[in-house]
Amino acid sequence: MNDRMKIGHLFPLKSTPLQPGKPGGRSSQSTEFRDMLDAKVLKFSHHAEVRMQQRGIHLQPESLTKIMNAVDEAESKGAQDSLIVFRDIAMIVNVPSRTVVTAMDGGQMRSNVFTQIDSAIILS
């Protein structure tokens, strides 16, 4: 079974949010719901998306769920920037913004030094 899936299929690019009170704008309640939903979604920086494409890294929905749960746990411990290792994939995640900053596969992980992180989570 392949644990990889293209990120674009799960997280389509967002359009600029419409302004409440303007023609075609969203209501305050809908904006609050969107903000709450965005707070729990794992985002990928442009750099991370490019690296994942270059390195052939694709994640299945189940894998993303495990990674998002790891980010939740890191957040509960006060982490800011975490290294998350899942199978043969390593990601640096900015926890407060829930954004994957970069990602690498097993080949790039070997003999690598990870800097500017305050926590590491190893998932099985």
Quick: pLDDT tens for 88-116.
Answer: 999 999 999 999 999 998 888 877 889 99
H/E segment holding residue 43: strand 43-44
Q: Could you tell me how many residues make up the chain? A: 124
- Of 77 and 11, the structure prediction assigns the larger pLDDT to 77
Q: How far apart are CA 17 and CA 31, in angstroms?
A: 9
Q: What is the mean pLDDT of residues 56-82?
A: 94
Whether the model pTM is above 0.75: no
Distances (CA, A) of 76 to 15, 35, 59, 64: 30, 19, 24, 18
Quick: pLDDT tens for 18-61.
Answer: 444 445 555 566 777 666 556 678 999 999 999 999 999 999 99
